[in-house]
Amino acid sequence: MKTLEYPFDERSVRALRAGDAVAITGRIYTGRDKMHKFFADGGRLPVDFRDGALYHCGPVVVECDGGWRVVAAGPTTSVRENPYEPNFIAKTGVRLIIGKGGMDAATLAAMKKHGCVYIQAVGGAAALCAASVEKVAGVSMLEEFGAAEAIWHFDVKGFRGVVAMDAHGRSLFDEVAASSGERLCELQG
């Protein structure tokens, strides 16, 4: 298990390899479709993603004792962000993208060029993911985007995942698809 602590510097991120298990500590920000579209249309983001982490997540967060409590924070399927992610990586300097299901070749190329990795979080384990959120440090664009699409500022400790796409151009998703395709051809004769 490799430990990653915010801010996530390029050297440490480039040292990661597809298949590495990681535990993330520090600030991560959520962002989904509305945030990506807003940024792509020229909107100015209210947080700085440089050397940071973007979590594709629409959490369930409730008000509690004058603050917020995260009830569920499972990953959202990342493929929806493919049209936006290469430009987002290039312009923001984000180092970690966290989600589920992987992303396309253009995003992988941007990760390689700019020093970013994709971390596969456990799908279907939203309560487990939420347990690593120690504090909701803030929320941006709640009124504009709604709770599921807002940019939540999470301080996490020991948030776990696996590097599934690395800054060297390797994608576990592509490897599984290729080997599955080969096996299917074998089975079909």
Catalytic residues: 36
CB 12 within 8 A of CB 166: no
Question: Exposure of 69 by Cβ count < 10 A (0-12 exposed, 13-18 middle, 19+ buried)?
Answer: middle
Residue type, 154: F
E strand spans, 31-181: 53-55, 60-64, 67-72, 96-99, 117-120, 133-140, 151-165
Residue 120 main-chain phi, psi, to 5 deg: -80, 115
